[in-house]
Amino acid sequence: MADCIFCKIAGHEIDAKLVHETDELTAFHDLNPQAPVHIIIVPKKHIVRLSQAAPEDVLLLGKMQYAAREIAEKLGVAENFRLVANNGRKAGQSVDHLHYHLLAGRKMNWPPG
Ligand code: AMP
Ligand code: ZN
């Protein structure tokens, strides 16, 4: 997708601080972190949001979740982290390329804002 910031990061067209990469996924530090650990996990495939994922994306979605588990371990936060997908503008989604936020390193509140 032209003009998609996360496609550009996944395609190494623009820089990001990568923490994990496979042929299907990329994960990098959020530019505007909301916690001491704030990682964005994206599929290399351009999917706009979770509600637009298709049946053939099920394995990819599972791999994104497992990547979160591996990254949390690598960064030493496996015992306490939060995994968030904002789906749609009113839910807080600002970048229209599916991503999970992996947040850790501080006390998390519930319910979220
Ligand atoms: P959301 O608001 O759920 O769509 O999350 C988008 C996230 O991407 C925000 O937390 C932004 O800070 C982050 N973000 C936007 N552009 C970049 C970038 N170029 N590199 C790293 N993180 C970014
Ligand atoms: Zn994209």
Nearest CA to ligand 1 atom 20: 31
C-beta of residue 100 within 8 angstroms of C-beta of residue 26: no
* Per-residue model confidence (pLDDT) at position 72: 98
* Per-residue model confidence (pLDDT) at position 1: 78
Each residue's pLDDT expressed in tens, for the chain with a length of 113 residues: 789 999 999 999 999 999 999 999 999 999 999 999 999 999 999 999 999 999 999 999 999 999 999 999 999 999 999 999 999 999 999 999 999 999 999 999 999 98
* Per-residue model confidence (pLDDT) at position 32: 98
Q: For ligand 1, is residue 4 a contact (CB within 6 Å)?
A: no
C-beta of residue 69 within 8 angstroms of C-beta of residue 78: yes
Rounded distance, CA 14 to CA 88, Å? 24
Looking at residue 45, its amino acid is K
Q: For ligand 1, is residue 93 a contact (CB within 6 Å)?
A: yes
Residue-range domains of the chain with CATH: 5-104 (3.30.428.10)
Q: Which ligand is nearest to the CA of 2?
A: 2
